[in-house]
Structure 1
Amino acid sequence: MHTIAITNQKGGVGKTTITAHLAVGLANRGHRVLAIDLDPQGYLTRHFGLKEELYRGEIDNIALHLTNSGHGDPTDLIVTTDEDIDLVPSNYDMRGVADALSNARNRERRLQNVISALPGGSYDYVLVDSPPNLGVLTDNAILASRRLLIPIQAEDSSLDALEMALDEIEEIEAAFGIDVDILGIAPNLVPRDGVAESTLETIRSTPGLEELVLPYEIRKRADIKYAMRRGETLYAYNDDSDMIPVFDRLAADVERSVN
C-alpha cells in the first residue's frame, strides 16, 4: 500500500483538486484507492458530493480517532463516493484536533495509527488531502505518508512557500529519523499568460527544484470549478476536457515513481 500526502502549507493551490483527480486517475488504472480528507474545511468531502450532514453530523469520525476518542473500527469511517473512490471524510470536529493534540503523546503519529488499522491489502493507494498550513495535522500527513506531491501555483509567492515546505520536511526527517520522498511539485491552476510562464521558468531553474517540478502543468479551467460545484471530478463532469490527459499523465507518473 502506497500512502501519498498532497500537501502545501499555502492555501489556494488546488490540493483538493489534485487529490480528487489523482484518486480517480489511479482508480482508472486499475488500482484500489482510498482518499482521506485531513482538512478541517472538508473540501475533499464536498468535492465528491457528500452531503453536508456527513460533515456536520455528530457521528464517529476521523477527528475522534485522531484524538483517541473514536468508537469502533476506523474501517467504519470509510464511505464510497459516486465515482467509486473510497473516502474517509472530514468532519466539523476536525477544527479542534490541532488544539487537542497540542500536548498529546505521539501526536504526530495519530494518522499513521489510523491507516495501520486498515485491513492489509485493502488498498493500493491511500491519498491524504492535507490542510493548508503547517502544524500537527500536516506533520501527521507527512509522517504517515513519507511520499509527497506538492501542488503550487505560478505565483511569485510560491517559491517562498516551497522553501518553507522543504524546510519543514527536513525538520521532520531529522526529528523522526525518516526519509521523505517528494514525488513531484505539480504546477496547478496555471493561467495562460506571460507572468505565469515566467514564474514557472524561474521555479524550474531554481537549484534543488529542477528535478522535482513536473514538466507539464494543470491549466486553469472553468470546467474544474463547475465540476466541483456539482460534487464531481472532470472524469464524471466532462471527460472531453483537455485536462483529463494531464491528470492521466500525473497518475501514470505517480504509479511509476512508487514502483
Structure 2
Amino acid sequence: MSNRITVSNQKGGVGKTTISLHLAVALAKKDKDVLVVDLDPSAYLSAHLGLDDYYYDENKNSLAYNLVEGPQENLEDIVLQTDEGVDVVPSNYDMRGVEDRLNAERNREMRLRMILDRIDGDYDYTMVDSPPSVGVLYDNAILACERVIIPIKDEDMSIVSIHRALDEIDEIEKAFGTNIEILAIIPNLVRPDGVATDTLERLRSTDGLKEYLTEFEIRQRVAIRRAMKNRTTLYKHKPNSDQVKNFMKLADLVVSKCEGENDEEEKEE
C-alpha cells in the first residue's frame, strides 16, 4: 500500500500547496513513484502544474464526480502524468460543490479512501493537498492518509492555529476510532527578521509542538513565488536555490519515518 500523507492546516495562507508539490517532487527525485491528489476546491496545485483548464470527458469522470458518486469503472482516467516526475489527480471548478453534495451521502468521510484504494497501489507515496478549512473534504484527507504534515507561518497566531489543528485531529481520531500520525510541523514562508526568529523559538519550546517541529524551515524566497507563478517548481526554475536542500531534507524525514516504520512492521510479521 502507498504511504499516504496529507499536507493540512485549517488556516489558509501557510503555503500548503507549495509544500505539497515540492515535497512530492522531492520524493520523486529520490526515485519514488508519487501520486499527488489536489483535494482543494481552489485547485491551486492543479493550476501551478498547468492542469486547471484540463477538460474532463463527457462522462464527467473527475475527482469531484468520483467523490460524490463513488469510484467509477474508469477511475484511472482521472490520473494525469506531468513533466515534474509525479502523477496528479487534478481538481477543477466541479470540486466547489462537493462539500454540500457529500453532506447528504453515506460514508461521506471515506470517499477519498475508497478512491485511493483503487488507484494508488503502484505508488510509493500519495500526497494529498487538503482544503484550508475544516469540513468533509478535510476529514476525507485526514482519514484517507492517517499521516499529516502541517505547515505553519512564523507569526504570533501560529501557536493558536496549530493547537486548533491538533485539536481537530484529536476529534477525528475519537470520532472514527483511528490513530493519526503527525509526521512533521514545518515552518514555511519564514522571513529573515527578528519577529520570525522569536516566533520559531517559542514554537520550539512549546510542549506538544516541539516534538513535531522540524529543525529546519522553508524560508521565504522570491524564486519560489516565481516558480509557482510560472507553473513549475523550484527544482526547474532555480535548482541552485538554497531552499532546494530544505525540501529534500523534508523528503528525507518523510522517507525515514514512513519506510522506517514499514521495516519495523515487516520485522514484527
TM bin, normalised by shorter chain, reads over 0.9
Q: Which residue of 1 aligns with 2:119?
A: 118
CA distance in 2 between counterparts of 1:141 and 1:16 reads 14
Contact 2:152–2:158, Cα closer than 8 Å, also in 1 = yes
Q: CA deviation at 1:149?
A: 0.3
1:1-259 matches, cutoff 5 A: 1-50=2-51, 52-54=52-54, 59-68=60-69, 71-118=72-119, 120=121, 122-259=122-259
- Which digits, 9 at most, give the CA deviation of each residue in 1:60-84, with x for residues without a partner? 2101100016653221101011212
Residue 118 of structure 1 aligns to which amino acid in structure 2?
A: I
After the TM superposition, which segments of 4 or more aligned residues of structure 1 sit over 4 Å from their partners? Answer: 55-59
Give the match's secondary structure for 2:73: coil
Unaligned runs of 5+ in 1: none
- Which digits, 9 at most, give the CA deviation of each residue in 1:179-214, with x for residues without a partner? 000000000000000001101111111111111010
Contact 2:71–2:115, Cα closer than 8 Å, also in 1 = no
Q: CA deviation at 1:56?
A: 8.4
37-46 vs 58-67, greater mean Cα deviation: 58-67
Contact 2:35–2:120, Cα closer than 8 Å, also in 1 = no
172-181 vs 71-80, greater mean Cα deviation: 71-80
Contact 1:111–1:141, Cα closer than 8 Å, also in 2 = yes
Residue 238 of structure 2 aligns to which amino acid in structure 1?
A: N
CA distance in 2 between counterparts of 1:103 and 1:162 reads 30
CA distance in 2 between counterparts of 1:201 and 1:101 reads 41
Residue 224 of structure 1 aligns to which amino acid in structure 2?
A: I
Contact 2:56–2:62, Cα closer than 8 Å, also in 1 = no
Q: CA deviation at 1:142?
A: 0.2
CA distance in 2 between counterparts of 1:31 and 1:142 reads 22
Seen in structure 2, the aligned counterparts of structure 1 residues 210 and 119 have a Cα distance that, compared at 3 Å, is closer
65-74 vs 101-110, greater mean Cα deviation: 65-74
CA distance in 1 between counterparts of 2:55 and 2:136 reads 21
Give the match's secondary structure for 1:227: helix
96-105 vs 31-40, greater mean Cα deviation: 96-105
Residue 243 of structure 2 aligns to which amino acid in structure 1?
A: M
Seen in structure 2, the aligned counterparts of structure 1 residues 4 and 87 have a Cα distance that, compared at 3 Å, is same
Instruction: Report the TM-score when normalising by structure 2.
Output: 0.92
Contact 1:45–1:55, Cα closer than 8 Å, also in 2 = no
Unaligned runs of 5+ in 2: 260-269
Q: CA deviation at 1:5?
A: 0.3
Alignment size in residue pairs: 257
- Sequence identity, in percent? 50
CA distance in 2 between counterparts of 1:108 and 1:69 reads 12
Give the match's secondary structure for 1:54: coil
Give the match's secondary structure for 2:88: strand
Give the match's secondary structure for 1:173: helix
